[in-house]
Amino acid sequence: MPSLPSGVAGSGTARAGVSVNDPPTGPQAPERETHGDGGDVATAPAGDSPDGTRKVDQKDFEQPFGRPGRPLRSNPFLFGLTAALGVLTAWLLVQAIAGVSSALILIIVSLFLAIGLNPAVEALQRRNLSRRLAITIVFGGVIIFFVGFGLAIVPPLTDQTTGFIQHLPEYVQQLQNHPLIRSVDQRYQVLDKLQQYVSSGSLASQMFGGLLGVASVVISALFSGLTILVLTLYFLGSLNSIKEIGYRLVPRSRRTRVRLLGDEILKQIGGYVAGNLIISLIAGVVTFVFLAILRVPYALALAIFVAITDLIPMVGAVVGAVVVTGVGFLTSVQVGVICLIFFVVYQQIENYVISPPVFRSSVAVPPIATIIGALLGGALLGIVGALLGIPLAAAVLLLVREVVFPRQERL
């Protein structure tokens, strides 16, 4: 049988002990390209194609529209589009938060009130009362306070308004009989112009518009107060479940430490709110007894006003003292002077005798942090922010002391 030429092999024959069915090796072997699907695709070896294009692979026929290319990760257009969408999303989120800011404020205030009332609920639970009954007792006391405030404020305002309207003609007659007013009227015809203004109908329309504005403000305040009461009740009833859900959002490896820090923050916030309520209650009771002894009119309404304004850090006590002292001066000069002395002395007693024992076990905030927290909170959210600034400052200081400082020491 004639031998085959060197370098030529027939079908089914072997050359140098290598089967023709084995993949070729050496410089002429096709390169293997690995894809993400785990399969190897044969590509053309270097120099197989003059133009350097890749040979057609069998898998190309399995995809009717061709094989997908590489992701456009470094495409500048895609990067700009992604950045623009991110900015647009952030802007829409800010607009949405600004649109619901009033509702968010009501929710935050209700949550802080619930946290502040929770220590009283837990104190009643330690006396073998169920949580539902404890919440009912505490929340009933809150409702009684607001009802008492309304009953103390509304009748005096109604009496004062009715009395002013009834005595308005007498006031006008007294102005006409006053020599100085009479001389000014003769020179500038003030009363004639006032009479023309009243009879023209402009006063009635403006008063009607003003009354509508006042009514809308009162209705909005009542609605906000009712909303806060309802939300506070719901938050107070489900506070434990809310905490557990919040803790479960944290990774399990860090959950224990976050739970300890979170419980301590809630304890400090609750202690501050409860302590502030106790101090305001003391201020209201002392003010009522003092005004009742001096026979100042509307003593209960003024005392409740002092208790509410005393909740505002730094300026609240001053506002209450100024209003009550002004009413005292309207009663008599002696009563006004006595009220001024009383509030100056009481503020010193409250700052150095009453407040330290109340806040000793709850919130330990340096004075500078208290001032900064109240100022920043007031600038952001007004009175509500000033109320919440101090406990938030205490929470931030706790995180800095327990998290930031130890981490810095390890570096």
Least trusted range by pLDDT, from 124-128, 346-350, 358-362:
358-362
| Rounded alpha-carbon distances, angstroms, from residue 291 to 168, 295, 299, 349 | 29, 6, 5, 18
Are 337 and 330 in contact by the 8 Å Cβ rule? The answer is no
**Predicted local confidence at residue 178, as pLDDT:** 67
- The answer, yes or no, to whether residue 75 has pLDDT greater than 60, is yes
The residue among 367, 402, 121 whose CA lies nearest residue 264 is 402
Q: Which residue's structure tokens are 């800011």?
A: 101
Average pLDDT rounded to a whole number, residues 387-410: 82
Asked if 302 and 286 touch (Cβ cutoff 8 Å), the reply is: no
Cα–Cα dist 113/118, whole Å: 8
- Specify whether the CB–CB gap between 312 and 383 falls below 8 A: yes
Domain boundaries, the chain: 102-249
pLDDT of amino acid 365: 67
Q: What pairing do the DSSP bridges indicate for beta strands 18-19 and 31-34?
A: unpaired
**Dihedral Cα 408, 260, 388, 118, nearest 10 deg:** -170
**How many residues comprise the chain?**
411
- For the cut 90, the answer to whether the pLDDT of residue 296 exceeds it is no
Residue 7, pLDDT above cutoff 50: no
pLDDT at 183 exceeding the cut of 80: no
Average pLDDT over residues 86-100: 87
Percent of the chain at pLDDT above 90? Answer: 7
pTM above 0.75, yes or no: no
Instruction: Name every residue whose Cβ is closer than 8 Å to that of residue 7 and which is 6 or more positions away in sequence.
Output: none
294 has pLDDT over 80:
yes
Return the HEC string of 162-230.
HHHHHCHHHHHHHHHHCHHHHHHHHHHCHHHHHHHHHHCCHHHHHHHHHHHHHHHHHHHHHHHHHHHHH
The whole-number average pLDDT for the span 111-126 is 86
Residue with the bigger pLDDT between 131 and 43: it is: 131
Tell me: pLDDT of 394 over 70: yes
Q: Is the pLDDT of residue 388 over 90?
A: no
Q: How confident is the model at residue 4 (pLDDT cuts 50, 70, 90)?
A: very low
| Chain mean pLDDT for the chain | 75
Q: What is the mean pLDDT of residues 341-355?
A: 89
**Binning pLDDT at 50, 70 and 90, where does residue 339 land?**
very high
Burial label for 146, CB within 10 Å (0-12, 13-18, 19+), is middle
Model confidence band, residue 179 (pLDDT cutoffs 50, 70, 90)? confident
pLDDT tens digits along 146-168: 787 777 777 776 776 676 666 66
Mean local confidence (pLDDT), 295-309 = 85
